[in-house]
Amino acid sequence: MTGDPRIPRAPGLLPDDGASAAPDKPQLRRILKERRRAIDHATKRAWDDRIGARVVAWVQEHDVRMLGVYWPLAGEPDLRPAYADLAEAGVRLALPVVVERDAALGFAAWVPGEATVADSMGVAVPSELRMVDRPDALLVPCLGFDARGYRVGYGGGFYDRTLAAEPRPKTVGIAYACQQVAFEIGKYDIPLDQMITEM
Ligand SMILES: Nc1nc2c(c(=O)[nH]1)N(C=O)[C@@H](CNc1ccc(C(=O)N[C@@H](CCC(=O)O)C(=O)O)cc1)CN2
Ligand SMILES: Nc1ncnc2c1ncn2[C@@H]1O[C@H](COP(=O)(O)OP(=O)(O)OP(=O)(O)O)[C@@H](O)[C@H]1O
């Protein structure tokens, strides 16, 4: 995936060349959250539209029956308009649910427009939980990612644990291009199949 033209080098700080001293993970998470916060509202809306259109095209190309989506948290790309298009095209959707602290994520069926409530972690989940099997493909929100598709998340390890069990679902990392960084890979890290950004 190194050669994917949709994964450009992020400009500025933290070149993804392995040459500079890597900041630690908490520091890296702070930097990445700041970068995301610095994106102005109109730009974010335009980027989210582009990412959403690419997600719809990817889902159609890969014949996905059930897609694990995410409800946007703190500056993550908001792809809810694309979710509505996908549902209309017959794709079943599911939202991730933290069932236990140190476990894989669960997934609950969700239809756009259906009511949600904030769970104990502040993440929106369907008010009425209809749990389903792990979807055949997942959109994975990334706080950071590298050229090989490795991901930095919020640190709970939820997606890593979710992807540990075979057969693995297809995975598409979702992030803005400015979130590409170099970092040290942990032993549980599994690279994503593909990244989709606005670039
Ligand atoms: N949109 C979205 N949903 C998701 C995830 C995610 O990364 N993004 N998750 C991926 O694992 C799971 C939830 N995991 C979470 C892990 C940590 C924190 C957390 O530390 N939140 C901070 C606030 C973060 C911020 O404001 O930037 C906090 O509560 O203090 C939240 C959710 C399932 N759902
Ligand atoms: N497959 C796994 N089995 C057991 N523990 C795991 C597994 N994957 C991750 N973990 C645990 O989760 C912790 C957090 O992982 P990491 O720092 O990679 O989180 P993250 O990918 O940034 O977060 P998240 O996936 O929640 O967004 C790891 O230190 C590890 O202890």
For the chain, the domains span 31-90+138-196
Interior angle at CA 106, CA 35 and CA 86, nearest 5: 70
**pLDDT at 178 exceeding the cut of 50:** yes
What pLDDT does 23 receive? 78
Please tell me the chain's helix, strand, coil percentages from 3-state DSSP, rounded to the nearest 5.
25, 20, 55
Q: Is 124 in the pocket of ligand 1 (CB under 6 A)?
A: no
Is CATH 3.40.50.10420 the classification given to domain 31-90+138-196? yes
Percent of the chain past pLDDT 70, that is, above it, reads 89
3-state secondary structure of 86: helix
C-alpha 162 to ligand 2 mean position (Å) = 10
pLDDT bin (cut points 50, 70, 90) of residue 104 is very high
Mean pLDDT over residues 175-191, rounded? 96
DSSP readout, 2-68?
TT-TTSPPPPSSS-TTS-SPPPPHHHHHHHHHHHHHTS-HHHHHHHHHHHHHHHHHHHHHTT-SEEE
Beta strands in 129-193 (DSSP E): 131-132, 137-141, 144-145, 151-152, 170-174
What ipTM does this complex have? Answer: 0.90
pLDDT at 177: 98
Mean pLDDT, rounded, for 19-26 = 73
SS3 83: helix
Which residue owns the Cα nearest ligand 2 atom 3?
A: 161
pLDDT exceeds cutoff 50 at 12: no
Nearest protein CA to atom 9 of ligand 2, as residue: 157
Give me the percent of the chain exceeding a pLDDT of 90: 86
Which residues are paired to 93 by β-bridges?
67, 110
pTM of structure: 0.90
Between 53 and 24, the more confident residue is: 53
Å from CA of 3 to ligand 1 middle: 30
pLDDT digits (tens, 9 = 90+) for 136-172: 999 999 999 999 999 999 999 999 999 999 999 999 9
